[in-house]
Amino acid sequence: MKILISSCVFGNKVRWNGSDKLSQEIVDWAERIGLELIPVCPEHELFGTPRKPIRLQSIEGNVMASMGSDDVYHQLIGKAQEIHSSHPDAAGFIGISKSPSCGIAVGVRKLGTTIKAPMHSETDIPTTEISQLRKPRDRMLFLDRVVKYYSSRAIRQN
C-alpha cells in the first residue's frame, strides 16, 4: 500500500530553511511492514527551498498563509488537492506537526484555535502526524485505519 508522507519526515531537506525532520523510526517501520512511502511537500513544490517561512493567521475571520507579504493559502490548498489527485492509489498520509501545509492541528494566529492543514483537510484518506505514531500501538491504530480505507475503496471500485 502507498502512503504519502511529508518529504521532510522522509529525510529530504525541503523545510523552509533547507533542513529535514527525518523520522528514521517511521521510515523503518513502514519498510518493515511493506508500506511504500511517497514523499510529498506542497511548499517545496510551490516555492522551492529555501523559502520564507509561512505563518497562518486569521484576518477578519479568514485564514491566510502569510509568506512575507503574500497570502499563499489558496495555493497551498490547490497544491494539496493536486498532490492527492496525482496519487489516487494512496491509502494514507503522514504529516508533521506545526506545518502550515502538513500539520493535523496547526495554530492560526488571532483565531484562537487550530485547523487542519491542506494535506489533511483536502482528502478523505486516513491522515496522521509523526507525533501521533511514537508508540507501536498508535502505529497499529493508524495502520488499521489505512487497511480499512484501502479495503473499502477496493470494494467500491469493483
According to the model, what pLDDT value does residue 112 have? 87
Using the predicted structure, report yes or no on whether residue 158 has a pLDDT greater than 90.
Answer: no
According to the model, what pLDDT value does residue 154 have? 78
Tell me the domains of the chain and their CATH numbers. Answer: 2-51+77-99+117-157 (3.40.50)
According to the model, what pLDDT value does residue 21 have? 97
Mean pLDDT along residues 33-49: 98
Dihedral (CA of 114, 20, 28, 134) sign: negative
Using the predicted structure, report yes or no on whether residue 127 has a pLDDT greater than 80.
Answer: yes
3-state SS track over the chain: CEEEEEHHHHCCCCCCCCCCCCCHHHHHHHHHHCCEEEEECHHHHHHCCCCCCCEEEEECCEEEEEECCEECHHHHHHHHHHHHHHCCCEEEEEECCCCCCCCCCEECECCCCEECCHHHHCCCCCEEEHHHCCCHHHHHHHHHHHHHHHHHHHHHHC
Mean pLDDT along residues 48-59: 96
Report the alpha-carbon distance of residue 117 to residue 126 in Å, rounded: 14
Other CB atoms within 10 A of residue 108 CB: 17
Report the alpha-carbon distance of residue 101 to residue 104 in Å, rounded: 9
pLDDT tens per residue, range 90-119: 999 999 999 999 999 999 999 988 999 999
According to the model, what pLDDT value does residue 156 have? 78
- The share of the chain scoring above pLDDT 70, in percent, equals 99
